[in-house]
Structure 1
Amino acid sequence: MELVWLEDLIELDATRNFSVAATARNITQPAFSRRIKALENWVGTQLIDRSTYPVKLTPAGETVLEAGRNLAQDMYRLRDECRDLAVPGSDVLSVSALHSIALCVYPDFAKALQSHVGSFTTQMHASDYYDCLESLSLGRCELAMCYDHVLGPPILKTSQFQSRTIMKDPLVLVSTLKDEDEFETALTSNSGNAALPLVSYSSGCFLGKMQEILTKSYLGHGVVFYPVFENSMSEAIRRMILNGAGMGWLPHSVAAQDISLGNLVELKGRSMVLELDVVLLRKPSMQSDLVEKIWQQSDMAPPL
């Protein structure tokens, strides 16, 4: 028996829909159904009444659900206790975050938190959007930090996670100072034939989806972009822009220092503005004392 099977059952009870629950668990519906079936085979009886819509738990399913909730909490508590034994006197927090957030948001955020909750050691796993959510879903980390936007993927709205916005981080279009005048003129041109070099995010990543919205907003003004470089990490985008490869969108937290030093300039253009939320996520079943303290103090994030 695997702990994730019990967490699948908990999610299915919350949504009463296999498809929605599978999306919340970041797996395909067939894979989710197989895991529920594996749990039923292990218990030895049917846990889900599939003849109704929405689906509901059988009496046996209700019994397993209640025990599963307690077991999941006990297992995560056991993990926390073992980690504390491994590092005596030091609280350890495991975090999964987007690369840009891990580099440019989390250090100041952690420093602000420690002034309220005391010192702790962070085990940071920097990854992409969906891997962060999967790590939290599967219990590989206690907290996740991601971007969220109303026009972005809706997965953060599922019942599996609790989320809290800790700051705003707008996407800003930037270039080097030497290219500023040329690019500003092209971005505001009415000639309808501007084609501009874009240091671009990969289409499959979260910021790539946000970038697509922004580039489409320029198409109506006859401005098109051609990619000169693609990557999913903001730091790679930043370095290529600094090298003069073209313009590109960066979270303000990533670009702020370069803008203040004059290494980069913000292009005003006439695009819509996307203000991303930096959100902190946890699972209700994973509530160590440290996580609970951090959750209560998570509104102490520093401003941009």
Structure 2
Amino acid sequence: MDIKQLRALLAVAETGSVTRAAETLHIVQPAVSRHLKLLEEDIGTALFDRGRYGMELTEAGEILVEYARRALQELDRARSEIQPNDAQVSGVATIGLLPSTSGLLAGALVSAVKARYPAIRLRITVGYAGHLQKWLESGEVDAALLYNPKTTPTIQAQVLLEESLFVVGPPSSELEPSHPVPFADLSQWPMILTSAPHGIRSLLEQACRDTGVTLNVAAETNSMDVQKTLVACGHGFTILPAIAVNEDVTRGLLRTAPLCNPELQRRIALALPNTRRMAIAVRCATALLVDEMKIAVERGDWPSARWLGE
């Protein structure tokens, strides 16, 4: 088993075709087929079902693909560390962003990395805090933004900003930014929430325990876009930060009001792994991410946010 065989495995798994995999890898088709054959002989079982609809992974193939992807990511990180001191910063940096922040930060981060470190290959992964933390611990992302994280033996966290949460309703609702909604009033409305135990859902459940309020959960989803669509269509209300709905409010698709009694706030932190060395490319990319977040807050592009970082 060697690196070329693993790269061929991933290319065929992603494209579903030996021909397209060969084009992606810039090698001839027989070479890809040979790599797969040698790999299957080494493993001792078939990795693909070769059918009329293309190459489909077997159960063994799915297992090997998961480990191969992680192994190649670690090799990419090692390669970026082993370079002359005067070499241009290069390598792969996989950054995890929260759905509510990705629209504001993704483009700015790509532009900043391209301008400052053009040899860094940036990968942006978007997910809820619970998923991002698991991916960070497993090595699938190098750094991630998380809600209210606590430093653990596997993760170190630097709190960067604090922002208020808002009630979000359909355009037919009477929500007004100048009229805060008491938390207890949420019990009167059907609520569209993220699935437990992620981010804002955890904050809401803690607030419910503190106040004795019971929410009427009409639907749960792991997609913020679905969450906002259901609210816009009149299926209920939700709780989100202003940054997540700013454009929708401007377009008249949603209405918002601040929460009170109690106010709900979330803290966003940059989380890094304690269990592995951080590559130069990752350190450079995360420094730019922090810079772009601070600029967004100071410029007023991040509504209701207060900068807490240095």
TM-score between both structures, scaled by the size of structure 1: 0.57
From 169, 179, 186, give the equivalent of 2:173: 179
Q: Name the counterpart of 1:286.
A: 277
- d(CA) in 1 for partners of 2:152 and 2:252? 42
Deviation of residue 105 (structure 1)? Answer: 4.2
CA contact (8 A) 1:238 1:250 kept: no
Give the distance between the partners of 2:165 and 2:186, measured in 1 at CA: 25
Partner of 2:155: 161
The more displaced of 113-122 and 198-207 is 113-122
* Structure 2, unpaired ranges of 5+: 1-73, 83-87, 303-310
Partner residue, 2:198: 205
Report deviation, 1:123.
2.0
The sequence identity of aligned pairs, in percent, is 15
Aligned partners of 1:271, 1:116: CA distance in 2, in Å?
45
- Does the Cα contact within 8 Å between 2:93 and 2:285 map onto a contact in 1? no
TM-superposed CA distance for 1:194, in Å, is 6.5
C-alpha separation in 2, matches of 1:277 and 1:145: 10
- For the Cα contact (< 8 Å) 1:136–1:283, is it kept in 2? yes
Query: Does the residue aligned with 1:134 lie in a helix, a strand or coil?
Result: helix
Distance change in 2, residues 1:272/1:248 (3 Å): same
Q: Please list the CA deviations of residues 7-64 of structure 1 after superposition, one character each: whole Å capped at 9, or x if unmatched.
A: xxxxxxxxxxxxxxxxxxxxxxxxxxxxxxxxxxxxxxxxxxxxxxxxxxxxxxxxxx
Displacement after TM superposition at 1:254 (Å): 0.9
1:272 aligned counterpart, secondary structure: coil
Q: Which runs of 5+ in 1 are unaligned?
A: 1-73, 83-87, 149-153
Quote how far apart the aligned CAs of 1:269 are: 5.4
Distance, in Å, in 1 between the alignment partners of 2:125 and 2:95 is 6
Tell me, in whole angstroms, the C-alpha distance in 2 between the residues paired with 1:132 and 1:91: 21
Equivalent position of 2:235 in the other structure:
245
For 1:147 and 1:249, the matched residues in 2 are separated by 14
Answering whether residue 106 of structure 2 is matched by residue 107 of structure 1, we say yes
Q: How does 1:246-285 map to 2 (within 5 A)?
A: 246-268=236-258, 270-284=260-274, 285=276
2: CA distance, partners of 1:248 / 1:242: 10
The verdict on how the C-alpha distance between 1:128 and 1:279 changes in structure 2, with shifts beyond 3 A counting, is same
- The 1:144–1:299 alpha-carbon spacing in structure 2 relative to 1, beyond 3 Å, is closer
One-letter code of the match for 1:208? Answer: R
Q: Amino acid of the residue matched to residue 294 of structure 1?
A: A
How high is the TM-score relative to the length of structure 2?
0.56
Partners of 2:89 and 2:281 within 8 A in 1: no
SS in structure 1 of the partner of residue 197 of structure 2: coil
Query: Which residue does 1:140 correspond to in 2?
Result: 140
| Distance in 1 of aligned mates of 2:182 and 2:272 | 43
**Paired residues, what number?**
214
In the alignment, the residues of structure 2 paired with residue 203 and residue 193 of structure 1 have an alpha-carbon distance, to the nearest angstrom, of 18
SS at structure 2 position matched to 1:124: strand
| Cα gap change, 1:90 to 1:172, in 2 (>3 Å) | same
Match of 2:48 in 1: none
- Whole-Å Cα distance in 1 between the matches of residues 97 and 269 of structure 2? 10
Q: Distance in 1 between matches of 2:186 and 2:281?
A: 56
Contact 2:98–2:145 at 8 Å: present in 1 too?
yes
State how far apart, in whole Å, the 1-side matches of 2:281 and 2:153 are: 22
Residues 115 and 96 of structure 1, relative CA distance in 2, 3 Å threshold: closer
Deviations 1:131-166 (A, max 9, x none): 322222232221122222xxxxx6x32143232234
- Alignment partners' CA distance in 1, 2:145 and 2:187: 37
Query: Aligned partners of 2:78 and 2:183: how far apart in 1?
Result: 62
Which amino acid counterpart does residue 196 of structure 1 have in structure 2?
A: W
Q: 1:187 to 1:166 in 2, by over 3 A?
A: closer
